[in-house]
Chain A
């Protein structure tokens, strides 16, 4: 496997990589200078034609989202950098914030310029305290160097950046939940439509982008959309930070081009599974994706479209590896419990359904299963969120994709490891 030359994480091994002086020496803020000479709509066009897709989980085209901002409104526009990384299995944004904060900031400034926004926010999860301190320093450095504030780099563009700490809620990573939280309320997602690009923060046009997505932007401006498109599959290109964790020898963040094979990622980059154990199942895109069995995993390219074809999703590229020592029922319960804990409680199916799943799984794990449990689990997941095979089921039962986020993994566990689930009932073993 040829070594991919890192783009986003090129300098992270350097001690000083987070500082402005280092970043400038390495060529940083060249893209900003270029962008400020372009028309904002041309910046949008460049990012759009690069086919950059969101790296937070939804995978929507970033440039296309920027075009949704209405041109003819007097309302102020806002950019929000979604640094509320809470998807289990995902830890790449933390790395970027710690080791390449200026790269992310440059992306933010360019994006804000493109959509005519003068106030941008970084919504960072509350637990990332060290990262918050780092960001404060980064922002201060930027203001002092005229990269933020009034008349950036001698242009007539002004931008202020405000860092806003979250306080422990996964649902505040969902863009409308984030906006509600930023407005000072509980993080209950909003009904869509209206979409944030039309009515977001304070009912003004708002764009929410992920840390990694924004970090790609300077490179696109520097080296062009065509260059970006040439990295990996054209429909969803670019460098990507893949997180591998769980039962692997070398867990960590690996920058590869989109489309790397999952097998390579697990066995070559992450050093394979300890103690010579065999792969059993893997989450390809954070815990909100459907799991893949070991066989399925061997045939997967880590890009948006291939994973959809395999009835899962790339999501946040948080790969969680489970080996033969992992009991699928317990793993399923662990994930279901996470979602029950993080459910915001606003809409009926999610609020009631996620805990129902947990209770059934708890009984199974305790050896108190019933014959009806398996079908019940499948039915409940279908009633909360839709099936991955769009032709079979229906969606829209919940206000936000959280319903699908709990339904897909739980359902995939039960469907793909049915025997293991059934053995919990019949053998009535009390598991560890």
Chain B
């Protein structure tokens, strides 16, 4: 089943060796959907329509099914995000330990609400659910890194120090 759609924006994986490795890991190549989406996102910062079409071709999937997958997961973005995705956990343990104050602080400091990006595209503020580190609440994930046990001061310093 080849996709019939025209790739308006072309997307090419920079590292095809990695792609081949990923594909060879699985008994069924369709299982490579998520790893390839992660790879495409690491290239462009988000998942473009071109990436969806390219991945669909590689996997003999229709692009709509790949898009179905992309839109299900919170870590996959279909729009460009800020350089630093500041993801503040808001589930119970973090909420009981000052997470809401961190959100307020960033909203005031950067002038953006949750889900928005600063005009200079440096920060995107996201409220996320449990990050699995409740013992060191409150927890903030910036891009791939966890920052745990943050007070407002530590959080502020953290934001300031991001280039």
Contact = CB atoms under 8 A, between A and B. Distances in A.
Q: A contacts B directly in the complex (CB < 8 Å)?
A: yes
Interface of A: 76, 85-91, 93-94, 119, 125-130, 162, 164-170, 181-187, 202, 243-247, 251-253, 283, 287, 318, 320, 322, 326, 331, 334-335, 338, 341-342, 344
A302 B101 CA distance: 33
B137 A245 contact: yes
B134 A251 contact: yes
Interface residues of B, number: 43
B132 A85 contact: yes
Given A126-B75, A168-B74, A341-B129, A334 B134 contact: no
Contacts of B35: 164-165
Nearest to B134: A245
Given A165-B34, A334-B92, A334-B95, A91 B135 contact: yes
Interface of B: 25-28, 30-35, 37-38, 59, 61, 65, 68-69, 72-76, 90-93, 95-97, 128-137, 141, 144-146
Sorted from nearest, which 8 A-B pairs have the closest CB atoms?
A184-B33, A167-B73, A168-B74, A168-B75, A245-B134, A129-B144, A186-B72, A184-B30
B27 to A, nearest CB: 6
Contacts of A90: 132, 134
A245 B133 CA distance: 9
A244 B91 CA distance: 15
B135 A88 contact: no
A212 to B, nearest CB: 13
A4 B136 CA distance: 23
Contact of A202 (B27, B92, B130): B27
Contacts of A170: 129-130
A318 B134 contact: yes
A140 B135 CA distance: 30
A87 B132 CA distance: 7
Contacts of A129: 144-145
A85 B128 CA distance: 15
A184 B93 contact: no
B31 A334 contact: no
B72 A86 contact: no
B73 A169 contact: yes
Contacts of A338: 91-92, 129-130
A280 to B, nearest CB: 11
29 contacts: A86-B129, A91-B133, A93-B132, A126-B38, A127-B131, A130-B144, A164-B35, A166-B75, A167-B38, A167-B73, A169-B72, A169-B73, A184-B28, A184-B32, A184-B59, A186-B68, A186-B72, A246-B92, A246-B96, A246-B97, A251-B136, A287-B91, A287-B92, A318-B134, A320-B93, A335-B92, A338-B91, A338-B92, A341-B129
Contacts of B28: 183-184, 202
